[in-house]
Amino acid sequence: MSHRQPSWTTIAVSLVCLWSGTVWCQYVPTAGPYKVLTLEKILLRDPARNKNIPVKIYYPGGVGRFPVIIFSHGALASKDNYSGLGQFWASYGYVSIHPSHADSVADSGFCGTLHQAISDPHAWENRPEDVSLIIDSLAHVETVAPQLVGKLDLRHIGVGGHSFGAYTAGLIGGTTILLPGKTKPQSFADKRVSAVVLLSPQGEGIMGLSAHSWDEVRVPMLLMYGSRDFGPFGEEPVWRSEAFKKGPAGNKYEVELEGGTHMGFAGILPAQGHRVEVFQCAKLETLAFWDAYLKQDPKAREYIDSHGLEKFSGDIAHFANK
């Protein structure tokens, strides 16, 4: 396998893709045309569960309605992590909403371990309920955040996440789980969501997931993981691809990134042996996917269907779609 290194500077300056003699895509890893503004401390109230959900919002400084992305953090993290993704998407015309869940050390005072966080069935339920509560609140969020007046396109909502957040996004997209004491799998699907992005998700065998958990995932889905992206209990990296392999066909995409580690998708890289291109690839592919399915951009759809990222990944990206 080749490990040719791409020149991201060259790409940023002159990336133009040609297909059948016509320009069909233009994706660069640099910031987009919009100035990114941030709302740091918004609290959304859920009276049914008697809890507040802290959120951080990245949004474009331009005029117009923009599709909404809700991004769910990994275990123990918070709304303040994954800023690289939130800022990047917002710079290209998205409102990116990042909540803190109950397992957040910084915002919720969680004191347990990672294994305790992902092994708590109440967290399995509460996280997708947090996301649906945020969607419920979007029509009224302007009352607490007047800066967003006229900016939210409530017809086009995507949900993404990393690790435990990918699990959360998957549940919103139709993944089912068997909760302790239950005899039938439970769904948390939210039909208001148009597409989901799963970065380093879980496979079957933990967290209520079975071989049939993905049978009803009908929304467009992008799944990305790394070749060094081992599971929390030592599972091989390919285990993270099961949502793609076992789910139904139709607008499903999988990208494995050679040399990618688990935290590389959060923009956090190990000191030795990392591939700096992994996070850049994640930014480009997720943006193209959102453009294809939240903005219905035919050029973006052609880009992801034709594995456009492959040409600029230094041969580290390996694709499948169905």
The per-residue pLDDT string of the chain (322 residues; one tens digit each, 9 = 90 and over) reads: 333 333 333 333 233 333 333 334 568 889 999 999 999 989 999 999 999 999 999 999 999 899 999 999 999 999 999 999 999 999 999 999 999 999 999 999 999 999 999 999 999 999 999 999 999 999 889 888 999 999 999 999 999 999 999 999 999 999 999 999 999 999 999 999 999 999 999 999 999 999 999 999 999 999 999 999 999 999 999 999 999 999 999 999 999 999 899 998 888 765 445 566 889 999 999 999 999 999 999 999 999 999 999 887 878 999 999 9
Q: Is 201 among the domain residues?
A: yes
Q: What is the pLDDT of residue 267?
A: 81
Q: What is the SS3 assignment for 18?
A: strand
Give the count of domains, the chain. 1
Q: Is 209 among the domain residues?
A: yes
Q: How far is CA 76 from CA 174, 204, 277, 280, in A?
A: 24, 22, 25, 24
Q: Is 2 among the domain residues?
A: no
Give the CATH number for residue 197.
3.40.50.1820
Neighbours of 100 (CB within 10 A): 24
Q: What is the pLDDT of residue 9?
A: 30
Q: What is the pLDDT of residue 266?
A: 86
Alpha-helical regions (H) of 46-181: 83-91, 105-108, 114-118, 121-137, 164-173
Q: Is 233 among the domain residues?
A: yes
- Rounded to two decimals, the pTM is 0.91
CA gyration radius, the chain: 19
Pairwise CA distance, residues 94 & 60, whole Å: 7
**Half-sphere exposure (CA, 13 Å, Cβ side) for 42?**
23
Q: Is 3 among the domain residues?
A: no
Q: List the structure tokens of 293.
A: 């399915």
Q: What is the pLDDT of residue 21?
A: 32
Note whether 302 and 253 are within 8 A (CB): no
Pairwise CA distance, residues 261 & 35, whole Å: 30
Q: Is 45 among the domain residues?
A: yes
Q: What is the pLDDT of residue 277?
A: 81
Amino acid residing at 184: K
Alpha-helical regions (H) of 206-254: 242-246
Question: For residue 152, what are the domain limits?
Answer: 8-321
